[in-house]
Structure 1
Amino acid sequence: MTEASIARVLIDSPLPQLDRLFDYAIPERLRGDAQAGVRVKVPLKTLGRLVEGWIVELTDTVDYAGKLSELDSVISGFPVLAPEIWTLARTAADRAAGNAADVLRLGIPKRHARAEKSLAALESTATEQPSPEHSSPEQPGAPVPVTYFDATSIATLLADNKRAAMAAPTGVVEVTPGTWVGRWAVTMAELASQTLAQGLTAILATPDFRDQEQLEAAVAAFTPEDRTLRLDARQSVQRRYGNFLRTHDGGPYVIIGNRSAVYAPASNLGLIAIWDDGDPLYSENLSPYIHTRDAALLRQEQQQCALVFVSHSRSTEVQRLVEVGWLAALSPGGIRPPKVIPSANQVSQDRLAAIARIPSSAWKAARAGLDEGPVLVQVSRPGYAPRLACAECSQTARCTTCAGPLAQRSASSTPSCVWCGALAVKWRCRECEGTRLRMVGSGSARTADELGRAFPGYRVIVADGEHQVTTVSSEPSLVIATRGAEPVAAGGYRAVLLLDGAGMLGRESLRVSEDCLRWWSNAIALAADGAPAVIVGVGGSLATALVTWRQEDFASAELADRRELRFPPAIRVATLTGKDHLVSDAVQKLPVDPLDVLGPVDLPDGVVRTIIRFDYNNGRAVAQQLKALVVAATTVSRSNRKPGMPRASQPAPGLRVHLDDLEPFVDL
């Protein structure tokens, strides 16, 4: 059998006109090294230089009649682009009107030569002279039943590669002596254990390091260490790239990571499990802006594996998929729902508790909880005073240097600018010339001071962006945490107080109610079984959803409202940004009639923004047309570049496209 003589290469470039496969002849000197999936360098005449890329496939035939350029070099002999990841990247990019190379950059870590040498040496030693140090990974252990869920439903889910929205059980559990994690993490670890026992790989994704640490601890309790691989940005480049290379050996493994873990190579994929898909950290900030949820849905359909979205509070996107029958709904049994108590802002009879903004019911719950163990108090903002205002005219206090808002980090610190950090020394109000400041609102530090005086004799722990606390002991203490930063308490919290409910809901945003329900549900789930959770200043359907612990009912009602108003995710949206004539021309050429258009709206730098709304069944046609328009606009932009113009001064792309963009709806 003759070796292939032509390599089809995807160029690693953000330019949309290069988002296709280029054919290159394989020179004789590279015939053995030029394999599908490896990194290469190739000449690109349009740029006049060598560029990097990946060999997607090898072939002996090509339609081009002229002489092909040759591969310049093979950067590494390790095939980093797996076939299933190329298929996923191509599909995801086409759905989002983006570039496949931009998607691959999310999933393929930067090359680290030392990691490649270490892995090659390890494989060579293990082949030539097997020893205990270089033995093969341990075999998967016996599968662990998935607690609180029907065994038949779980077996069907995994065996038949089904898709499900799973309501996570509440509470915490001790997986190893002294290590406590949320029950949701145990559920995901148990699912991974069953997948691994079948000889298949499981990919488990979490939004941040706090959740990931819990999941890693739970997986370690059920899975051999050599069968677990971690992939996330907090690792060193060498460690992450080394683990990435190991995923190519066929596994099976349990792969744990953040939003990019869903792109991990796994030809024998059996399960993808996503924890808390409503967290905004799953939204990719770089083009083509693909959400982890969407990538997981595409990959499940391509590789026919099981897919599970685990959460305490469903996102409206998952609720839509449940209602259209794309996801099955699974709920736990055999566990009591949390005890949630709505509370009005009734002033406590205790003077110090009143100063600390704690109403009577919350004060009583905290007092009783501290007799048994730690009490969690969730607040909305970090710092001491999140906002300062002029004491005379009540206008927001602004920095005299950059006009940014002023804040105060602690009781004794000098107020400073949130934007530039300048100290507000000799501050004077621009509106009334006043010189006195007053604090507006209470951050985590100020709440800690006030609660420390209201409950003297107890330890006060602050957990926020500046104080990263992931676990606390079972000793009585007050834990003041911002939303999403709540530590796990040994044995669970004996009471949970949610103080800033009304303030959190005051934000003007399409997702504000959905986000608040998710934040509150995750905090309440950390309580010990039977411990009370008091939410202050919140009523209506949100309070009902928490008291009955039926967040899916609220998600269903929220989705129904968005259908009526044609807001996402009931429909799809695309944001077009660029010069007025380019945006207008793009809207006119879209193959949807009638087209729901919002805008244009003038933005800085002489550009406009238009939002288009369309149904899901028009998504493919809209994405294809928008991609063609972006390529055309970029080509024109490059043709306008003057010779010798510095790269930083070259014209920016004339048209930018962002599908499923929620930013215009976040701050309504």
Structure 2
Amino acid sequence: MRSSDRPTDLPADGRDTDDAPRPATPEQLHLLHAAAPRVKTERVQAEPVGPEVPLPVARVVLDVGLAHLDRPFEYSVPAKVADDAQPGVRVKVRFAGKDVSGYVVERVQEPEHTGKLTPLRRVVSPEPVLTRPVLDACRAVADHYAGPLADVLRLAVPPRHAAAEKALDARPVSEEDLPGPGAATAWDCYPAGEALMRRLSGGDDPAASWLAAPTVETDRDWPAALAQAARATLHGGRGALLVVPDHRDLDRLDAALTAELGEGRHVRLTAEQGPQARYTAWLKVLRGHVRCVIGTRAAAWAPVQDLGLLACWDDGDDLLAEPRAPYPQTREVLRLRSVCEHAALVLGGFVRSVPVQAWLDAGLVRPVQARTAPSSVPRVVVAGDEREVERAGAAAHAHLPPVAWSAAHTALADGPVLVQVPRRGYLPTLRCGQCREVARCEHCHGPLGLTSPDAPALCRWCGRAAQPWRCPECFSTRLHAAVVGARRTAEELGRAFPGAPVLRSGSGEVVSSIGPEPRLVIATPGAEPVAESGYAATLLLDGWALLDRSALDAGEETLRRWTAAAALTRPASLGGMVVVCGVTSGVTLPPVEALVRWAPDSFAERELAARRELDLPPASWMTMLTGEPADLDGFASAVRHALDDSVPLERIGPMPAPGGGDGLHLLLRTTRSHGAAAAKAVAAARAVRSARKLPGTVTVRVDPSGALL
């Protein structure tokens, strides 16, 4: 075909008309129409366009504890939930094919994500439970302990209780609810006490390490002092948050605050309250019904409005260390909250913990302590000295030496006597009666002990009865008590003092307080009842059981437990006396010396100096990894890779876990100045391990307590 004969309208595919498909004939179209299925057509109306949503993008923190997901995710806000989806509320979102809980932390106009956003599924509750100050503190704690934010939020925000939200009205604090100024008489014996109260009342944010003076006067003891500090803060128009280790301390503080502020001016936050009662108290704080909160460890996250005071009593108590990841210590939580919210910080106790001593040396806190006169504290006597050995011979080193028996016998004529026993039970540890080797189970090699005088020796690990028992070293069948528990001590003292009533206070049967009547009180550390007018004498038995613990904080913990018992004793001016039994004679032991001179501040200084020489926490930054050897090695290598080459990082271990636990321990140590960078590197290593879904588990503890080292 010539070019002049080609048609001018070619098909769309550019092919010649000879190769193009022929159009269908009318008959073919009719057949195709008849064979096609009948489809019912409906008129589709256009969906009406709703009003434009202001700030249509929500940034949500997911309740997923995976390290590589530790960041906010963006979701679009549907118009039907736009009013309720405010920062701080609980929401449900779609993530990885399932519904996941989370919190809205921010509403913005433009997303950072370039693709299409998934809408929020629903708003669980319009209650803004996660306030911005608490969120900032949670982020700071997560960064400090190299953990995901979601793990900290689980500790900070309690589970929702719908009935509590509906039952509680919204009644904010009015100016009439604020207490008037009060006399801070409990702070008169502290030279810096008046200045501290004045700054709290004026809205300042001082940070203090408070060494409390022992006293048996209820209007001047530590609960009264904390109550007066809270009153001064509330009078200045700001809120107060007070944390104590256990429920017995909380009861004392509750009574002092009620006497200082009146009924209904504060709330308690504890795990013992139950879900509804606890959430109701927490909502009262969130909605501003009250501005004063007291509680145990979990109360450190209470969302107090306009927070002005964060106080903690006995910050060295192990009950204030969180057992759940990322294992924060309440002392550190309160410090970070005080920085984030510009609130005052008061850390009190009869002793000063070594970490607080490090803060004191760094200028982060200021000392507040009394000038203690010898007559204002009980007289301390150490059993087993040279004069007593010359007078009593071997009896000077008995479980109850003559000087302790004499002190108790004299004191029982004037009031109750406290006997602190470091071990609970009857005879928790046994030895061979001939060669003195520790008696162990023949099945699992666990230590043997007695639960009662008539019971057979039982293994403390597997519970099997060792009957008959024969020593594998000398083949003797006689057993000897290696450690005497509180129950056996109560029996011995009951026979030694037949006319005196005996009261036991310990695990499962803790007594809060007693009257002034003469009696013997046998208590384990931390379970000592408060005696009206104080104890006439206190006996501290088996001091070696506390001092010989294989832990970094053995001396610090021993002094803390001794001073807690001694502070319940009458001062020397009223005849009060403390007898320390079972310690090595002829050797200067820092905890014993500090108790005799009542100088807990000098002990903290000495302990911190020793740790600096050995480069141990808190002088250095340290994290403890627990897991299998291959996992630990890979994790430590990832941390080293994430750090700059100029940051020193020392590996110590791996070593067996203390107490025969599962896995091995590996310590990573660097200087305190590089601690923030090291924590960031540990978090990065966790994220890499989580994203790659590597097998095995590595547990991370940043700044592990001295009991674990």
Q: Do the structures match in fold with TM over 0.5?
A: yes
Q: Is the Cα–Cα contact under 8 Å of residues 463 and 487 in structure 1 kept in the other structure?
A: yes
Bigger CA radius of gyration:
2
Q: Is the Cα–Cα contact under 8 Å of residues 353 and 451 in structure 1 kept in the other structure?
A: no
Q: Which residue of the other structure, out of 38, 46, 55, is the alignment partner of 2:89?
A: 38
Residues 1:473 and 2:515 aligned together: yes
Residues 1:449 and 2:505 aligned together: no
Aligned to 2:67: 16
Letter in 2 for 1:513: G
Q: Is the Cα–Cα contact under 8 Å of residues 291 and 305 in structure 2 kept in the other structure?
A: no
Q: Is the Cα–Cα contact under 8 Å of residues 196 and 252 in structure 1 kept in the other structure?
A: no
Aligned to 1:97: 146
Q: Is the Cα–Cα contact under 8 Å of residues 351 and 559 in structure 2 kept in the other structure?
A: yes
Tell me the C-alpha RMSD between the 2 structures: 2.8
Three-state SS of the structure 1 residue aligned to 2:160 is coil
User: How far apart are the structure 2 equivalents of 1:477 and 1:608?
Assistant: 48
Residues 1:535 and 2:580 aligned together: yes
Q: Map of 1:143-222 to 2, 5 A cutoff? A: 143-147=182-186, 148-149=189-190, 150-156=193-199, 159=202, 160-174=204-218, 183-222=221-260
Instruction: Go from structure 1 to structure 2 and tell me whether the alpha carbon gap of 1:146 and 1:618 turns closer, same or farther (over 3 Å shift).
Output: farther
Q: Which residue of the other structure, out of 168, 179, 188, is the alignment partner of 1:140?
A: 179
Aligned to 1:551: 600
Instruction: Go from structure 1 to structure 2 and tell me whether the alpha carbon gap of 1:591 and 1:17 turns closer, same or farther (over 3 Å shift).
Output: same
Which digits, 9 at most, give the CA deviation of each residue in 1:293-313, with x for residues without a partner? 111111111111111011101
Q: Which residue of the other structure, out of 621, 646, 667, is the alignment partner of 1:611?
A: 667
Residues 1:340 and 2:379 aligned together: yes
User: How far apart are the structure 2 equivalents of 1:411 and 1:200?
Assistant: 58
**Structure 2, unaligned runs of 5 or more:** 1-51
Q: Is the Cα–Cα contact under 8 Å of residues 27 and 70 in structure 1 kept in the other structure?
A: yes
Aligned to 2:524: 482
**Structure 1, unaligned runs of 5 or more:** 128-133, 176-181, 639-650
User: How far apart are the structure 2 equivalents of 1:456 and 1:244?
Assistant: 50
Q: Map of 1:321-336 to 2, 5 A cutoff? A: 321-332=359-370, 336=375
User: How far apart are the structure 2 equivalents of 1:135 and 1:594?
Assistant: 53
Q: Map of 1:40-439 to 2, 5 A cutoff? A: 40-45=91-96, 48-119=97-168, 122-123=169-170, 138-147=177-186, 148-149=189-190, 150-156=193-199, 159=202, 160-174=204-218, 183-332=221-370, 336-345=375-384, 346=388, 357-429=399-471, 434-439=476-481
Deviates more, 1:605-614 or 1:56-65: 605-614
User: How far apart are the structure 2 equivalents of 1:541 and 1:378?
Assistant: 20
Aligned to 1:179: none
Letter in 1 for 2:98: R
Instruction: Go from structure 1 to structure 2 and tell me whether the alpha carbon gap of 1:520 and 1:15 turns closer, same or farther (over 3 Å shift).
Output: same
Runs of 4+ more than 6 Å apart: 134-137, 347-356, 604-607
User: How far apart are the structure 2 equivalents of 1:506 and 1:547?
Assistant: 19
User: How far apart are the structure 2 equivalents of 1:193 and 1:15?
Assistant: 42
Three-state SS of the structure 1 residue aligned to 2:495 is helix
Q: Which residue of the other structure, out of 609, 631, 651, is the alignment partner of 1:598?
A: 651
Which digits, 9 at most, give the CA deviation of each residue in 1:200-259, with x for residues without a partner? 211111111221121112111112322211111111111111111111123542211112
Instruction: Go from structure 1 to structure 2 and tell me whether the alpha carbon gap of 1:548 and 1:41 turns closer, same or farther (over 3 Å shift).
Output: same
Q: Is the Cα–Cα contact under 8 Å of residues 592 and 622 in structure 1 kept in the other structure?
A: no
Three-state SS of the structure 2 residue aligned to 1:172 is coil
Instruction: Go from structure 1 to structure 2 and tell me whether the alpha carbon gap of 1:348 and 1:80 turns closer, same or farther (over 3 Å shift).
Output: farther
User: How far apart are the structure 2 equivalents of 1:391 and 1:374?
Assistant: 36
Three-state SS of the structure 1 residue aligned to 2:277 is helix
User: How far apart are the structure 2 equivalents of 1:585 and 1:37?
Assistant: 35
Instruction: Go from structure 1 to structure 2 and tell me whether the alpha carbon gap of 1:394 and 1:502 turns closer, same or farther (over 3 Å shift).
Output: closer
Give aligned-pair identity as a percent: 38
Which digits, 9 at most, give the CA deviation of each residue in 1:104-144, with x for residues without a partner? 1112111112212211xx34xx79xxxxxx99995435434
Q: CA deviation at 1:199?
A: 2.3
Instruction: Go from structure 1 to structure 2 and tell me whether the alpha carbon gap of 1:348 and 1:525 turns closer, same or farther (over 3 Å shift).
Output: farther
Three-state SS of the structure 2 residue aligned to 1:601 is strand
Instruction: Go from structure 1 to structure 2 and tell me whether the alpha carbon gap of 1:582 and 1:545 turns closer, same or farther (over 3 Å shift).
Output: closer
TM-score by length of 2: 0.84
Which digits, 9 at most, give the CA deviation of each residue in 1:88-119, with x for residues without a partner? 00111112111111111112111112212211
Q: Is the Cα–Cα contact under 8 Å of residues 179 and 234 in structure 2 kept in the other structure?
A: yes
TM-score by length of 1: 0.89
Three-state SS of the structure 2 residue aligned to 1:467 is coil
Instruction: Go from structure 1 to structure 2 and tell me whether the alpha carbon gap of 1:606 and 1:280 turns closer, same or farther (over 3 Å shift).
Output: closer
Paired positions, count:
635
Letter in 2 for 1:32: D
Residues 1:583 and 2:643 aligned together: no
Q: Is the Cα–Cα contact under 8 Å of residues 201 and 235 in structure 2 kept in the other structure?
A: no
Instruction: Go from structure 1 to structure 2 and tell me whether the alpha carbon gap of 1:532 and 1:90 turns closer, same or farther (over 3 Å shift).
Output: same
